[in-house]
Chains A and B, each alone.
Chain A
Amino acid sequence: MRTRSTTLVLTVAMALGLSACAGSAAQKNGAASADGMIAQLTFPSEADAAVGGLVNYNPNSPKPLTGTWLYEPLIVRNSLTCEETPWLAEKATWEGGEKLTLDIRQGVKWSDGTPFTAKDVAFTFNLMKQYPAFDKAGVWNDTFGAPATSVTAEGNKVVFVFSGNAAPKYDGIISTKMLPEHVYSKVGDPTKYVDKAPVSTGPFKVASYNGRQLVLERRADYWQADKIKVQKLVLEGQYDAAQAALKLRSGQLDAYFGEIPNPKKTFVDSDPKNNHFYYAPNGMTVLTGNDEKPPFSDAKFREAISYAMNKEEMSLKATYGVMKPASQTGLKLPSMESLLPEEYAGKDTVVPFDVAKANQLLDAAGYKKGADGKRTNPDGSPLAVNFSVQAGWIDYQAIADVVVKGLNDAGVDAKVTASAPDSIDGQKKTGDFQLLLEYLHGGCELAKNLGDKLSSKRIPTKTDIFPNVQRFKDPAVDAAVSQLAAQTDKEAQKKYLAPLVETMMTEYPVTSLIYAPARILYRTDKAVGWPSEEDPYANPQDDKLLWMTHLTAPK
């Protein structure tokens, strides 16, 4: 995703782009061949780098030329449906939350012909022990549960032993990219290693790179080569929304994963047969009050204002109606419906927009309306809310306007202060804010996402932004979160999730607004089988490897 600090340039370019005709270079990519193969697909560059000539494929560097198509993870878990697709590991088995056994796939070859084995897996994780800077999954430290004590290869299995419950590390472990022992054991500090000739297990290998355009070539000896139909993959160019829309419409790009506002009008309408988009709900935008300070320290107040939120209008203004109003449960629905506690199953858990009810609840909670139509705190002191919004984040600013209108309609005096995103991060750390907008990730590791959002052990510190930005504290919730973190089985997870959902629905630690997307815009003239709303088999943004195995040439 591109940052938006070049707002000015982007906005003007967008205005230009919309009115300009896409009459530039003609489509030069090949069409489909007879055997279902796809000659070439073009995606935007993955490294949003101004300087092109610096080659590095090390998947753990901050900016590899591609972090997707070369090195592969152990298991791909679709964060939308939480379904797992075995990748380099065929199976993962937990014994309690303290021991994890991975069955490693046999018959996989590194791109230099060396067989891939369980030893490579154990090597990769033990490298993280030696070089903590490399430990992005937090295997060897105490983020998300207890640290590991050993990771060993036993035949075709790899066994992780932890010093306590480590179930929440699962996502991090299975998504770690596997490295070849016969290369990376000789390079010293792997974070400082410039990997110019990647030896990887992935479906593609590097054909050429000229500093701007990375050409990847299909590997005939890939372990599931029968599923890869794309012969050549070109990664090229860093585009803003307007440029990307132009390139997509003209067929110079086959897919784009960044934000294009109003994708229907900008892209789909120009060729509804071939142009499609899928903005999958990946999490939600939530309204976060500071629960330590009045008025947001009062759960009744938080509940009341939740009814003043016009989510339909937010959806319309911020996402052109693409993203739907979000469930107050904090879960992505309907994809996580099966995790809902009984009492909420099948019910509408989106808080309705009802200003009259908001007013009524505020009256009942003692926030009296003065002669000027503005409410005061129950103790009679004036009530004013300062709402901090990230300057330049157009969607957040659009949502903020609707929030403030709702608050004002409920008699709560509120104003928006736009600040640099970095200084809002600062406010999250110090707690020096009243109200702001945030993203609540809807990943499958619920203890890590919804759980940490509500746990008083995960309140931000001076140096780190932990998820509980609203600073909500409830010992019963903390207990449920630590129970939830220890579960590796779905039914048990559901049991300990129930108190969290209940808290969201009755205490309103944060107010859910609208879902936030994982995006893809794609063309079906050269390839079909992309994930879509009808068939959400993969997270379009995060599970690229998975959908690559589904792409075929159109009939």
Chain B
Amino acid sequence: MTYVARKFGFFIATLWAVVTLNFLIPRLQPGDPAEIMVKRLAGKDAALDPAQVKAMRAMLGAPDGSLWNQYVTYLGELVHGNFGLSYTYYPYSVTEVIGQAFWWTVVLVVFTQVVSFVVGVVLGAYAAWRRNSRLDSVVTLGSTFLGTLQPFWIGLLLLYVFGYTVGWFPTSGGYEEATPGFNWPFIQEAVSHSFLPALALLIVTPIGWILGMRNTMIMNLGEDYIRLAKAKGLPDRHVALKYAARNALLPSVTGFALALGGVLGGAILVETVFDYPGLGRLMGEAVENKDYPLLQTLMLLTTAGVLVANLAADLLYGVLDPRARRAEG
């Protein structure tokens, strides 16, 4: 019980810290949202029209009062689930704006994470079981090499080759002419637009799982119970899957929960490269426009997602591995 209580206490404290930082960080940046909005309409280096800046400040109504007052108001609004109106998409609320981008990212990132996890764990386990085989060297060395690359960079390469040079895939956006909704033309367009971003992520994301799985599995293979299982004359396959892989999977499962928690942050750079209409690109846009309400809510979603996943992973670990519970409790 104390284990659970402690984890919850930790969760609340971190959440408070996150909310506070979330409030402070955007306000520590230089720049004034009203000026940025006016500039975007007039051109980046245009002389700011004071009448327009005045009107824009009156419209956005922000930020006024001392930092402390703003903070208290902010906390109050958060508790009521009121995230305010987006500056960029004024007068739409932040919730509506995020609702537009949400599914694009969730579908893209959840899909790539699940595929990466499955592929990664299977490959990792196999490489560990057949370690020092040719496949193992290819997988391990290949992973170490590819692991140093960044998905957005791979994205640029893919965009160049398959988007511009060969022209097989569209180069930007989420769809073209179809009306968004559950209809065949839209799904077709959405899939063809999501293919390259998904590929860019799929080339890199399994690598963590491969290396992680291989390492824990190799460690497990050295354990006494594996030797015992082998000594008992159990078939190799049985030992590999039921004994070694099953135990080695434990840390990966909790890791997977964390990865899913990070989904809400989106893949900012990859989405930007492909002009993909998800949360990551939205976050980039919010930063550019000093859209505090939108930026805060996105960062809150991201960090809260990771925290909740963390908590879930901790609790899950307690259930899956009684040692964790006992050691701390």
Give residues in A with beta carbon < 8 Å to B: 1, 3-6, 9, 12-13, 16-17, 20-21, 23-24, 48-54, 56, 61-63, 67, 132-138, 141, 143-144, 172, 191-194, 210-213, 237-238, 243, 246, 283, 390, 393, 396, 420-423, 425-426, 438-441, 449, 463-467, 516
Interface size class of B (residues with CB under 8 A): 35 or more
B13 within 8 Å of A (CB atoms): no
Give residues in B with beta carbon < 8 Å to A: 29-32, 35-37, 40-41, 43-56, 58-59, 61, 87-92, 96-97, 100-101, 156, 159-160, 164-165, 167, 171-180, 272-273, 275, 277, 281-282, 284-285, 288
Instruction: Name the contact of A420 in the complex, choosing from B30, B51, B87, B90 (C-beta under 8 A).
Output: B30
**B180–chain A nearest beta-carbon distance, Å:** 6
List chain A residues, Cβ under 8 A from B46.
439, 441
Contact B90 A61 (CB under 8 A): yes
Contact B31 A422 (CB under 8 A): yes
**Provided the pairs A50-B285, A210-B179, A449-B47 are in contact, do residues A192 and B277 lie with their beta carbons within 8 angstroms?**
no
Contact A135 B164 (CB under 8 A): no
Instruction: Name the contact of B89 in the complex, choosing from A51, A283, A466 (C-beta under 8 A).
Output: A51
Instruction: Name the contact of A51 in the complex, choosing from B43, B56, B97 (C-beta under 8 A).
Output: B97
Contact A135 B100 (CB under 8 A): no
User: In the bound complex, how far is the Cα of B47 from the Cα of A516, in angstroms?
Assistant: 12
| B101 and chain A: residue at smallest CB distance | A51
User: In the bound complex, how far is the Cα of B248 from the Cα of A37, in angstroms?
Assistant: 71
Kindly name the residue among A4, A20, A144, A213 whose own CB sees the greatest number of chain B CB atoms within 10 A: A20
User: In the bound complex, how far is the Cα of B92 from the Cα of A425, in angstroms?
Assistant: 28
Contact A191 B277 (CB under 8 A): no
**Provided the pairs A51-B97, A210-B177, A243-B172 are in contact, do residues A136 and B47 lie with their beta carbons within 8 angstroms?**
no
List chain A residues, Cβ under 8 A from B37.
62
Contact A20 B165 (CB under 8 A): yes
Beyond the given pairs A49-B88, A191-B91, A390-B45, 14 more chain A to chain B contacts, judged by CB atoms under 8 angstroms and listed by A's residue number, are A20-B165, A50-B101, A51-B101, A54-B100, A56-B89, A132-B58, A133-B56, A134-B55, A137-B51, A138-B52, A138-B54, A172-B49, A193-B91, A439-B47
A-B contact pairs, 30 of them (CB 8 A): A1-B40, A3-B40, A6-B272, A9-B272, A16-B159, A24-B167, A48-B40, A50-B277, A50-B285, A51-B100, A52-B100, A54-B92, A54-B96, A54-B97, A61-B90, A62-B56, A135-B58, A136-B49, A138-B50, A138-B52, A212-B175, A237-B173, A238-B275, A243-B171, A393-B44, A422-B31, A425-B35, A439-B45, A449-B47, A464-B48
Contact B164 A49 (CB under 8 A): no
Contact B30 A213 (CB under 8 A): no
User: In the bound complex, how far is the Cα of B91 from the Cα of A134, in angstroms?
Assistant: 13
**A138–chain B nearest beta-carbon distance, Å:** 3
Contact A421 B44 (CB under 8 A): yes
List chain A residues, Cβ under 8 A from B281.
50
| A12 and chain B: residue at smallest CB distance | B156
List chain A residues, Cβ under 8 A from B40.
1, 3, 48, 62
Instruction: Name the contact of A54 in the complex, choosing from B50, B89, B156 (C-beta under 8 A).
Output: B89
| A1 and chain B: residue at smallest CB distance | B43
| A392 and chain B: residue at smallest CB distance | B44
User: In the bound complex, how far is the Cα of B86 from the Cα of A54, in angstroms?
Assistant: 12
**Provided the pairs A16-B159, A50-B282 are in contact, do residues A5 and B288 lie with their beta carbons within 8 angstroms?**
yes
Contact A441 B47 (CB under 8 A): yes
| B173 and chain A: residue at smallest CB distance | A212
List chain B residues, Cβ under 8 A from A132.
54-55, 58
Instruction: Name the contact of A52 in the complex, choosing from B92, B277, B285 (C-beta under 8 A).
Output: B277
Contact B50 A62 (CB under 8 A): no
**B161–chain A nearest beta-carbon distance, Å:** 9
List chain A residues, Cβ under 8 A from B35.
425, 465
Kindly name the residue among A136, A143, A238, A396 whose own CB sees the greatest number of chain B CB atoms within 10 A: A136
User: In the bound complex, how far is the Cα of B7 from the Cα of A81, in angstroms?
Assistant: 70
List chain B residues, Cβ under 8 A from A465.
35, 48
Contact A16 B164 (CB under 8 A): yes
User: In the bound complex, how far is the Cα of B68 from the Cα of A460, in angstroms?
Assistant: 27
| A210 and chain B: residue at smallest CB distance | B179
List chain B residues, Cβ under 8 A from A51.
89, 97, 100-101, 277, 282
User: In the bound complex, how far is the Cα of B156 from the Cα of A17, in angstroms?
Assistant: 11
User: In the bound complex, how far is the Cα of B175 from the Cα of A516, in angstroms?
Assistant: 36
Instruction: Name the contact of B51 in the complex, choosing from A172, A246, A396 (C-beta under 8 A).
Output: A172
List chain B residues, Cβ under 8 A from A23.
167
List chain B residues, Cβ under 8 A from A144.
50-51
List chain A residues, Cβ under 8 A from B97.
51, 54
User: In the bound complex, how far is the Cα of B47 from the Cα of A467, in angstroms?
Assistant: 7
User: In the bound complex, how far is the Cα of B44 from the Cα of A283, in angstroms?
Assistant: 13
Contact B30 A425 (CB under 8 A): yes
List chain B residues, Cβ under 8 A from A425.
30-32, 35
**B92–chain A nearest beta-carbon distance, Å:** 5
List chain A residues, Cβ under 8 A from B45.
390, 393, 396, 438-439, 516
| B29 and chain A: residue at smallest CB distance | A422
List chain B residues, Cβ under 8 A from A50.
101, 277, 281-282, 284-285
List chain B residues, Cβ under 8 A from A49.
88-89, 285
Contact B51 A213 (CB under 8 A): no
Instruction: Name the contact of B59 in the complex, choosing from A6, A191, A243 (C-beta under 8 A).
Output: A191
User: In the bound complex, how far is the Cα of B53 from the Cα of A381, in angstroms?
Assistant: 41
List chain A residues, Cβ under 8 A from B44.
1, 3-4, 393, 421
**Provided the pairs A53-B180, A210-B179 are in contact, do residues A466 and B87 lie with their beta carbons within 8 angstroms?**
no
Contact A135 B51 (CB under 8 A): yes
Complex A-B, nearest 3 residue pairs according to Cβ-Cβ distance, in ascending order: A138-B51, A422-B31, A133-B58
Contact A194 B277 (CB under 8 A): no
**B186–chain A nearest beta-carbon distance, Å:** 9
List chain B residues, Cβ under 8 A from A54.
89, 92, 96-97, 100
